[in-house]
Chain A
């Protein structure tokens, strides 16, 4: 019976990964660009999985992940810097990252809260919302892609909104954004 969060456990690992991969990549991209950022996040998680890293709480998990990714980004910049020999600029960049990283973490995690709510919808609902919002497909195109009727697609959207309404109070920003996203 585990009361801590064990990343050696496959199910837990996947859940934590799905929750944190996008905001951590977004966080890292600011420092090292998108491609390197994704690589860094993947390596950090792979390393933690190999170590079967255990966290004592969700806040511990969150703090550790952001600090690890930040540190890997700093290491990457140092190594790049040695190759290019642009030491002053590198030193400046490293300092500004140390100064900004908590704010960048706040930004990533606050928006991630809305992102996670959408992604925690039942599978079909979240797929449909994603296709509509991110891929820009209309209801007909989604229906075709998933072999569903247009009405079913609409029903899933209504259901998504209903579920999210329970988590968000009507007039607040998140709900307004989400209703715009879905419809």
Chain B
């Protein structure tokens, strides 16, 4: 069986066991429902594992097996295996002392397998919150697909898993275009969240984890203005009469119609903007630059100094396509991205400044699987304790 099949089965195990114990999020519930619909075999299994009496019956079946007796049997066989070898008494004594010493040391660092087992950290999900100008908020992940919410002149429709579209309600359109500052809506993703938003003009924004998008309840006729904190990928609809403007920290990106990615987290010193198609103008208080497709602009937050490089488009938008792509990137900046998506804390023991990793990694796998891939480069080792990850040089 290919590893993909067993991965999907393990995902279903995770969701169904979670469902027995806690309510699932709407997205998780939808994932299970889709799986259920694939075959009548899935449907039957779903019923079996979500009905009290059948789960009770299965639990009784498991209880039939006596682990203690089996362990005793096994221990006898393990002793027999060991005594087949001939050790001198001195070597045996020395190795016992060493083992006891090591045991004491090991026990301080060994995670209980059960704890590891219960805490295998899952990747991020489609989670986001929309806050309207009146201060009320909607958890977008709790909306059903097809559901709409209508408030403050905006109609928000959940168009798919992790996707919403915003439109003006009829009453909203009549608002006069004046000097009145527009009211703003805010969409934020938490650590471990991501979401896709279609704005009233038809432009689409993908928001990465720990990011915020602010847009007005009414785009002005002469310009479309939004603000971004964190990371977003934009596909902007062309409108010659109303350039699209993205404010990022103190930088402003002016767009006519185009596709680009902006990386601007609070914790980072540099704002990175990569252009895929079209043309954008990047303005700071010190300079302007028009970017060409394939180029990346880096602006230092404090000095506002701007540099333009040939960019790597695949690397910049990998996150939106379900991957991490690293081009020989330092392990610390890699773990920054990993910590946002998995919502974990990262600490380093030892010197990791020279360690770089390259490659393409799926971001929908569990954290352990991802770290295992990093470890196989032979440069680092890791430990996961609860929601803290420790990275050590090899």
Residues of A that sit less than 8 Å from B by CB: 1-3, 5, 9, 11-12, 14-19, 21-23, 25-26, 34, 38, 42, 45-46, 49-50, 56-60, 62-63, 67, 98, 101-103, 105-116, 120, 130, 133-134, 167-169, 172-177, 180-181
Complex Cα distance, B5 from A110, in Å, reads 17
B residues 11-49 touching A (CB-CB < 8 Å): 12-13, 16-17, 19-23, 41-42, 45, 48-49
Closest to A24 in B: B65
Shortest Cβ distance from residue B38 to the other chain A in the assembled complex, whole angstroms? 12
Is the CB–CB distance between B65 and A114 below 8 Å?
Answer: no
Known: A3-B375, A12-B110. A57 touches B13 (CB 8 A): no
B295 at the interface (CB under 8 A from A): no
In the complex the two chains form, is A21's CB within 8 Å of B67's CB?
yes
Q: With contacts A59-B369, A60-B372, A167-B21 known, is A134 near B63, CB below 8 A?
A: yes
Does B70 sit within 8 A of A, measured CB to CB? yes
| B241, CB-defined interface residue at 8 Å | no
**Residues from chain A with Cβ under 8 Å of B20 in the complex:** 110, 113-114, 168, 172-174
* Interface membership of B71, Cβ < 8 A: yes
Contacts of B62 in A (CB 8 A): 22-23, 26, 108, 111-112, 115
- Give the Cβ gap from B122 to chain A, nearest Cβ, in Å: 11
Compute how far the CA of A45 lies from the CA of B81 in the bound complex, rounded to whole angstroms.
14
- Name the prevailing secondary structure of the A interface residues: helix
Among A50, A102, A168, which residue has its beta carbon within 8 angstroms of that of B6? A102
Main secondary structure of the interface of B (DSSP, over half): helix
**A110 engages B17 (CB within 8 Å):** yes
Instruction: Tell me which residues across on chain A come within 8 A of B3, comparing CB atoms.
Output: 63
Contact B113 A173 (CB under 8 A): no
B72 → chain A closest CB, angstroms: 11
The listed residue (B17, B42, B63, B368) touching A58 by CB distance below 8 A is B368
Does B55 have its Cβ within 8 Å of any Cβ on chain A?
Answer: yes
What residues on A are CB-neighbors of B112 within 8 Å?
A: 15
Q: How far is the CB of A29 from chain B (nearest CB, A)?
A: 8
- Chain B: residues with CB nearer than 8 A to chain A? 1, 3, 5-6, 9-10, 12-13, 16-17, 19-23, 41-42, 45, 48-52, 55-56, 58-65, 67, 70-71, 73-74, 77-78, 81, 106-107, 109-110, 112-114, 116-117, 120, 366, 368-369, 372, 375, 381-383, 392
20 contacts between A and B (CB under 8 A): A1-B109, A3-B383, A11-B110, A12-B113, A15-B112, A25-B65, A42-B74, A45-B74, A46-B78, A60-B368, A102-B9, A103-B42, A110-B16, A110-B17, A110-B20, A111-B61, A114-B20, A177-B55, A180-B56, A181-B59
| Known A22-B64, A26-B61; 19 more pairs at CB < 8 Å | A1-B381, A2-B110, A12-B110, A16-B113, A21-B70, A26-B58, A26-B64, A26-B65, A38-B65, A42-B74, A45-B74, A107-B45, A110-B16, A111-B49, A111-B55, A134-B64, A173-B51, A175-B21, A181-B56
| Pair B81/A111 contact, Cβ less than 8 Å | no
Q: How far is the CB of A153 from chain B (nearest CB, A)?
A: 19
B1, B9, B64, B120 interface centre (most CB from chain A within 10 Å):
B9
Our pick among A18, A50, A59, A110 for the contact of B368 (Cβ within 8 Å) is A59
Q: Give chain B residues whose Cβ lies under 8 Å from the Cβ of A108.
A: 62
What's the Cα separation between A112 and B77 when bound, in Å?
A: 27
* Shortest Cβ-Cβ A-B pairs, 4 listed: A57-B368, A113-B17, A56-B372, A174-B20
Please state if A111 and B375 are interface contacts (CB–CB under 8 Å): no
CB-nearest residue of chain B to A176:
B52
Shortest beta-carbon distance, B285 to chain A, in Å?
A: 48
Q: Which of B21, B42, B81, B375 contacts A56 (CB 8 A)?
A: B375
Contacts of B366 in A (CB 8 A): 57, 59
Note all chain A residues with C-beta closer than 8 A to B120: 57-59
Contacting residues, chain A, for B61 (C-beta < 8 A)? 26, 111
Do residues A5 and B375 form an inter-chain contact, with CB atoms below 8 A?
no
Cα-based distance from A23 to B23 in the complex (angstroms): 24
